[in-house]
Amino acid sequence: MTDGLSGRRIGLLGATGSIGLPLGEALEGAGADVVRFSRGGTGEGGEWRSSESKIDLSGLDAVINLAGEPVAQRWSAGVKKRIKESRAGLSRRLVEALEGLPEGERPGCLISASAVGYYGSRGEEELRETVGAGDDYLAEVCRDWEAEAGKAEIFGMRVVFLRTGIVLGKGGEAWKRLSRVFRLGLGGVLGNGRQWMPWIHMEDEVAAILFLLQSETVEGAVNLSSPTPMRNRDFTRCLAGALRRPAFLPVPGWALRLVFGEFAGALLGSARALPEVLLKEGYVFRYGTLEEALEELCD
C-alpha cells in the first residue's frame, strides 16, 4: 500500500545512512519526491539540503529524521556527547526550523527515529509501547530525543517515534559485522545468552516507515521490531546454523566490557520488545521469524 505517497514531498534526514539509503529509494519507488538532508550538503540525484546550521524545511509534506552519531562504538565522553547532541540537539533544531515556517506551510507529520534502547534492560518483561523509559544512558538519550521531537506536536503535527530494534539488512552495519564474525567461526553467545534481542529485517523497517507515513492516525511511539524477539543464545544458534558455522566460543561479559567499554551494556541488556501498535494497525511483517530473515540474508 503506497498509493498515498505519489507526488508527496518528503524531507529525509539521515538519508546517507544504512536505513536512509533504502528508505529514500523505496519512497521514490512509491512516487514520492524525496528531499535529502546531509551534513555534507549535496549528493547525487534529486534535491539535497544541508542539515548543518539553519535547516530549511520549507515545501515539505512530511519529515523523517534518521540522523544520529552511530551508537555501536566504544563510548568515550566525547562520543557520548555526540550521540546525545546529534539526536536531542538536532531534533531541537528541527522544531526551531518548523517554528520559523509560516502557519499553514508546515509539514503535516514528523517521523523521528528512536530505539528500543528507550526501555533500558528489562529482563523478561514484555515491552509494549505503553511501558515507561529505562534509566540507563541509552534510555536517557532516547527519552530526550523523543521529548525534543515531540514538541512538534505544538504545531498540530502528527509525530511518530520509531523505537527500532537491531536492523538486519545486507547493507546494514549490524548484519555486516555479525555475519563477518560468524563466517569466521568466531561467533558465540554474549554473556549468559538469556537476554532478549529485538530484531527487524531491513525490508520491514523500510516498509513499516512507509506504512506509518501513510497512516493518518498513528502517533507517538511505535516499536519497529519483529513479533518474535529472540534470546541471544537462540539468535546465536540460528545464525550459526544458517551460515553453517560453529558458534561454540562464548563471549563473557567482562571481555565485552574490556573491548566496548560502557557500550557492552547494550549488547548484554535484555529488551523483549513487541510491535503491538504495528500489529494492531494491520501491518503484516514480511519476515516474522528469524529463520525467514536469515534465509534471505544468507542467500
CB of 3 to ligand NAP, least distance (A): 26
In the chain, % helix, strand, coil (3-state, to 5) comes to 40, 20, 40
Query: Is the four-CA dihedral 13, 227, 158, 10 of positive or negative sign?
Result: positive
Is residue 14 within 8 A of residue 113, CB to CB? The reply is: yes
Q: How far apart are the first and last CA of the chain?
A: 27
Interacting residue with ligand NAP among 59, 70, 132, 171 (CB under 6 A): 70
Torsion, Cα 184 185 190 192, to 10 degrees, reads 180
Segment (H or E) for 269: none
Contact pattern for ligand NAP over residues 18 through 57, marking x by CB under 6 A: xxx-----------------xxx----------x------
Pick from 177, 9, 141, 159: nearest CA to 68: 141
Residue with smaller CB distance to ligand NAP, 111 or 251? 111
CB of 280 to ligand NAP, least distance (A): 21
Q: Does 17 bind ligand NAP (CB under 6 A)?
A: yes
Contact pattern for ligand NAP over residues 83 through 102, marking x by CB under 6 A: ---x---x------------
Using DSSP's 3-state secondary structure scheme, residue 193 falls into coil
Query: Is the four-CA dihedral 133, 281, 234, 182 of positive or negative sign?
Result: negative
Interacting residue with ligand NAP among 4, 50, 58, 71 (CB under 6 A): 71
Q: Does 113 bind ligand NAP (CB under 6 A)?
A: yes
| Site residue total, ligand NAP (CB under 6 A) | 26
By Cβ distance, which residue is nearest to ligand NAP? 17
Segment (H or E) for 32: none
Which residues is 11 bridged to in the sheet?
35, 63
Contact pattern for ligand NAP over residues 152 through 191, marking x by CB under 6 A: ------------x-xx----x-x-----------------
Residues that bind ligand NAP (CB under 6 A): 14, 16-20, 38-40, 51, 66-71, 82, 86, 90, 113, 115, 164, 166-167, 172, 174
